[in-house]
Amino acid sequence: MDTHFDLLVIGFGKGGKTLAATLGRLGRRVAMIEQSDQMYGGTCINIGCVPTKSLVYHAEHRTAAAPGEQHRTAVEATRELTTKLRGANFSMLDTIDTVTVITGRAEFLDPTSVRVTAGDDVLTLTADTIVINTGAVPTVPDIPGLRDSAHALVSTDLITIEHLPKRLAILGGGYVGVEFASIYAQFGSAVTVLDSASRVMPREDADIAETATEILRGAGAEFLFDVRVTRVRDLDNGVEITYDAGGTAHTLAADKVLVATGRAPATEGLGLDKAGVRTTPTGAVAVDDQLRTSRPHIFAVGDVNGGPQFTYISLDDSRIVADQLIGDGRRSTADRTVVPYTVFMSPALSRVGLTEDQARERGLPVKILEKAIADIAAMPRAKIVEETRGRMKFVVHRETDRVLGAALLSVDSQELINTVALAMRHDVTARELRDAIYTHPSSTEAFNEVLGTPPRGQ
């Protein structure tokens, strides 16, 4: 085949596949390189958002089956779903005449040449434009015995095992740790979270983190805060974790250990130095506001460029790069404002904008409008679906009435937060959100009541 392309994409993630499809449909010659046929479609579909949220759904909808059986059924259903989506994603590109999908490992030979290796087969490809879209990988801290343990797992491992761990230890109380604590506690595992911080999700306001912790404890999860794990040792029937708490050594026994201590950009083996592509001190591919690397014809999109690790950010990255290649070239990351996110515990925690702590640290005059979900009379949906746990909290500018931020720990929050974010982008006031007409019974109509409560901090 002809080995020169208009566009060469390394990695089948959201941003890369969107660019490949967009330019392919315009008749440009595109090569999509993915190192594994089990990763067509990228992290989200295969080992990230989709499978974990499938497990969230199954964990929330308990049946009469034994915990282990329900978990096994959930894993099987999740596997079927990801297999179907992986095939659909492959077809999305494979059916475009000018797009070629190549399975193999990519490595730069120079700024315009990439070698692709698949077993004994080797191809050398060149391209006018190259996009790096290799994502991120879980990090494993250098704790004695952890990396060699047969019972230590990262998130991509845990979601595939069919045997439900009776005792699951989670290292890390960040967003990933919280999600998995919620999932597996609901499935019936005895979950213990160990973290060096004094609470879960330290980027959130303390009151929101405490409400989330109470919910997780109610589901059966336990927490060990302000501890330092010093050793992991395999036993015949599981693993022993040694940790320090206040200068005293303790041990915890578990069947499996989930390492949820963060993710790092996946750049190992790419040969970026040969291409003259610079990286940041954290190992991410360094990019400018238009996602160009130190080589102007090479871009980096998605988690690998060190930005927020969300699929929808990768999608927006693809729009920025497409604008450079086939648009007017004005779009940049500077245009990206008010980006919401969701932690899919049960119920989900969704947030956008400033926390109360951040607003006060900036010296902004704020009022806090908040209410426990169980106390919101105008939100019957929560009672209908029997999910009244959680809290809604809005941070509002006292003088302009603009919404500065919101934390929604409630049923349907992953949908509600998008309405709040849209309102913030267009300077809709808290009063306008309060007085808007919402369908009934819906979760959105909670805004009518919460935004009309007597404010705190005024």
From the candidates 4, 61, 163, 440, give the one annotated as an active-site residue. 440
Walk me through the domains of the chain, giving residue ranges and CATH numbers.
4-137+264-335 (3.50.50.60), 152-261 (3.50.50.60), 341-450 (3.30.390.30)
Average pLDDT over residues 92-108: 97
Query: How confident is the prediction for the chain on average, in pLDDT?
Result: 96
Average pLDDT over residues 104-124: 96
> Quick check: 316 pLDDT over 90?
yes
The CA-atom distances, in angstroms, between 271 and each of 274, 275, 308, 335, 398 are 5, 7, 24, 31, 52
The CA-atom distances, in angstroms, between 158 and each of 135, 154, 163, 164, 425 are 19, 6, 10, 9, 38
> Quick check: 458 pLDDT over 70?
no
Average pLDDT over residues 391-409: 98
440 as an active site residue: the answer is yes
The CA distance from 235 to 132, in Å, is 42
Give the DSSP letter string of 18-62. HHHHHHHHTT--EEEEES-TT-TT-HHHHTSHHHHHHHHHHHHS-
Average pLDDT over residues 288-312: 96
The CA distance from 61 to 119, in Å, is 44
Average pLDDT over residues 244-249: 96
The CA-atom distances, in angstroms, between 374 and each of 63, 297, 357, 391 are 25, 54, 25, 8
Would the CA dihedral through 267, 273, 279, 282 be positive or negative? Answer: positive
The CA-atom distances, in angstroms, between 83 and each of 78, 183, 427 are 9, 21, 42
Across 64-73, 205-214, 392-401, least confident range: 64-73
Residue 457's pLDDT band (cuts 50, 70, 90):
low
Percentage of the chain with pLDDT > 70?
99
How many CB atoms are located within 10 Å of the residue 356 CB? 23
* Beta carbons within 8 Å of 25's beta carbon, 6+ residues apart: 96
The CA-atom distances, in angstroms, between 177 and each of 55, 142, 246 are 14, 18, 23
Per-residue pLDDT, 1: 61
Would the CA dihedral through 190, 192, 193, 198 be positive or negative? Answer: positive
Per-residue pLDDT, 354: 98
Average pLDDT over residues 69-82: 96
The CA distance from 210 to 254, in Å, is 25
The CA distance from 405 to 396, in Å, is 7
The CA distance from 126 to 111, in Å, is 9
> Quick check: 87 pLDDT over 80?
yes
Percentage of the chain with pLDDT > 90?
97
φ/ψ of residue 366, rounded to 5:
-125, 155
The CA distance from 324 to 333, in Å, is 12
- Which three-class secondary structure string do you get for 115-133? EEEECCEEEEEEEEEEEEC
CB 163 within 8 A of CB 185: no
Per-residue pLDDT, 64: 81
pLDDT tens by residue, 4-46? 999 999 999 999 999 999 999 999 999 999 999 999 999 999 9
